A and B are shown apart, each in its own frame.
Chain A
Amino acid sequence: DIVMTQSPDSLAVSLGERATINCKSSQSVSYSSNNKNHLAWYQQKPGQPPKLLIYWASTRESGVPDRFSGSGSGTDFTLTISSLQAEDVAVYYCQQYYSTPTFGQGTKVAIK
């Protein structure tokens, strides 16, 4: 199975500041046939199920604010929240769908 490793495990950011979460896969999740990275990001707020934010590493799901962006390719990916809002407090997970789905361990984002 592909192992997904996120960093950091947690971070605290001031309101309006940038939050950056990294995700590394143990092997490439990029298919040469479609030149796409099979990588998604989810947001999970307390007491709620996960919500899809980003897929194909950088495509925002419909309705997701544009302060959320994804980047990266191959084995290294990043989720950026450009200006942290109070409602962004959550745990964020990366997930690969290149093969049998696996998730990163999660990154908890809090307000400083």
Chain B
Amino acid sequence: EVQLVESGGGLVQPGRSLRLSCAASGFTFSAFGMHWVRQAPGKGLEWVSGISGNSVDIKYADSVKGRFTISRDNAKSSVFLQMNSLRPDDTALYFCTKRISAQAPFDFWGQGTLVTVSS
């Protein structure tokens, strides 16, 4: 059974940092690109960042470029999102999701971890 379990969310003050983790199981982790997609309260879906299976190809949304860093550890079947210089508009539920290639849909999503940026 495929599972993606996010962790690391919480309440943080503006300008501070947070590191999200996503633990994967039930599939060949290194074969899949891994992505973070967020959803602000009551709003739609926004793609944040993605990393290819071999970590060669990494991309970010303009809204987080220079502040967020995605990485993965294939030995531990985990993907991470280091979020620095957090702003109130980063407040959202952050989903971990996977896809088999850059030209494929997101075929499975985790339940998400909530990040709240507020003083």
B106 at the interface (CB under 8 A from A): yes
Count the A residues whose beta carbon is within 8 Å of the partner chain — how many? 23
* Closest partner residue, chain B, to A105 (CB atom): B44
Interface residues of A in 39-54 (CB under 8 A from B): 40, 42, 44, 48-52
Could you say which residues of chain A place their CB within 8 Å of the CB of B47?
100-103
User: Least Cβ distance of A96 to chain B in Å?
Assistant: 10
B105 at the interface (CB under 8 A from A): yes
On whether the beta carbons of A40 and B44 are closer than 8 Å, the reply is: no
A97 at the interface (CB under 8 A from B): yes
Q: How many A-B residue pairs have CB under 8 A?
A: 54
Could you say which residues of chain B place their CB within 8 Å of the CB of A101?
35, 37, 47, 50, 106
User: B21-59 interface mask toward A, CB cutoff 8 Å, 1 = contact, 0 = none?
Assistant: 000000000000001010000001111001000000001
On whether the beta carbons of B104 and A103 are closer than 8 Å, the reply is: no
Using known A-B contacts A93-B44, A100-B47, A103-B47, determine if residue A51 contacts B105 with beta carbons closer than 8 Å: no
Count the B residues whose beta carbon is within 8 Å of the partner chain — how many? 23
User: Least Cβ distance of B33 to chain A in Å?
Assistant: 11
Chain B interface (Cβ < 8 Å from any Cβ of A): 35, 37, 44-47, 50, 59, 61, 95, 97, 99, 102-112
20 contacts between A and B (CB under 8 A): A38-B103, A40-B105, A40-B106, A42-B45, A49-B110, A49-B111, A50-B95, A50-B106, A50-B109, A52-B107, A55-B105, A93-B44, A95-B106, A97-B102, A97-B104, A97-B105, A101-B35, A101-B37, A101-B106, A103-B46
Chain A interface (Cβ < 8 Å from any Cβ of B): 31, 38, 40, 42, 44, 48-52, 55, 61, 93, 95, 97-98, 100-106
Closest 4 CB pairs of A and B: A40-B105, A49-B109, A101-B47, A55-B105
